[in-house]
A = this chain, B = another copy of it.
């Protein structure tokens, strides 16, 4: 096993555990056991649990924004698919993936951000800055939708992007508490059929 493999194993194991149990309730020993690596390896790669969390958020956010981009990007010049349909497709794919985990895992940025906002400034700052990229991308999609006449002309695309992002996190939150995918469906219906409309 190369050092790089070990680092990836640790990040992957930590991600699963943080998503399932939260950050504080997950001990270093739990992470080592799940990854199947000795303690020394952890400190070879990460200075502390907090540093580990920050690096994990970077990895998670990079993967997440790539997935969002795959759904939103135009497929060639003159892609005629509605932009709001692509955005809905992104959320639908997320909803499907989350339901397949028995509705037990939400968004790492959301969960760690909420749990640690007042405990670790490094984590809070990382979540805030990384979330900004998602927000910008959603706002860009809403502007494109507006230019194509899919979204009413007067709509405040920056505000709506923030609202959608926040509401999605609220839906994830309810999903976890109720162990049901229904809040995600309620998000999809309300946002795409009633809020983001052409007229």
> Which A residues contact B (CB, under 8 angstroms)?
20-25, 104, 106, 110-111, 113-119, 124, 127-128, 131, 159-160, 162-163, 165-171, 173-174, 176-179, 182-183, 186-187, 189-190, 194-195
Contacting pair A176 B118 (CB below 8 A): yes
- A21 touches which of B118, B160, B170, B183 (Cβ 8 Å): B118
CB of B186 within 8 A of CB of A163, answer yes
When all copies of this chain in the complex are counted, the total is: 2
A166 touches B160 (CB 8 A): no
A20 close to B176 (CB less than 8 A):
no
Give the shortest distance, in Å, between A95 (CB) and chain B (any CB): 13
CB distance A118 to B171 under 8 Å?
no
Q: Taking chain A's interface residues, is the majority helix, strand, or loop, or is none over half, making it mixed?
A: helix
List residues of chain B with CB within 8 A of the CB of A166: 167, 170-171, 173-174, 183, 186-187
| Given A169-B173, A186-B166, residue A25 in contact with residue B119 (CB < 8 A) | yes
Q: Complex formed: what's the CA distance from A179 to B167 in Å?
A: 17
Say yes or no: A186-B162 contact (C-beta < 8 A), given A21-B119, A177-B128, A178-B128: yes
Complex contact B113–A176 (CB within 8 A): yes
Residues of B within 8 A of A169 (CB): 169-170, 173-174
B24 touches A176 (CB 8 A): no
